[in-house]
Amino acid sequence: MFGEPPFLIRSIAAVPEFSREIWIYTPGGEDPTGVFIFFKGGRVHASRIDEFGGLHNSGLLDDENF
């Protein structure tokens, strides 16, 4: 439905169920809103809408619930 994400964070593990990805979609322009879709082991784990300031030092993979 959304197509390829403009931003993608991927952590690949030797055991596939421990692999994690975060797909991030933004409306573009000056709007800092992002739609975050979290995948664990190839399945959607969670999603949220939040401010997105870029990938550098985002710490998204450090979330203890993910």
Q: What is the pLDDT of residues 7-21, one digit of tens each?
A: 999 999 999 999 999
* Host domain of residue 14: 7-53
Within a domain: 48: yes
Q: Is it the case that residue 54 has pLDDT exceeding 80?
A: yes
In a domain, 58, yes or no: no
Burial letters 1-30, b for 16+ CB under 10 A, else e: eeeebebebeeeeeeeeeebbbbbbeeeee
Q: What is the pLDDT of residue 66?
A: 67
E strands along 4-56, which residues?
A: 7-11, 20-25, 33-40, 43-51
CB-based contacts of 45: which residues, under 8 Å, 6+ apart? 20, 38, 39, 66
Tokens coding 35? 């739609």
Confidence of residue 3 (pLDDT cuts 50, 70, 90): confident
pTM: 0.83
Q: Is 28 a member of any domain? A: yes
Q: How many domains does the chain have?
A: 1
Please indicate, yes or no, if residue 31 is contained in any of the structural domains. Answer: yes
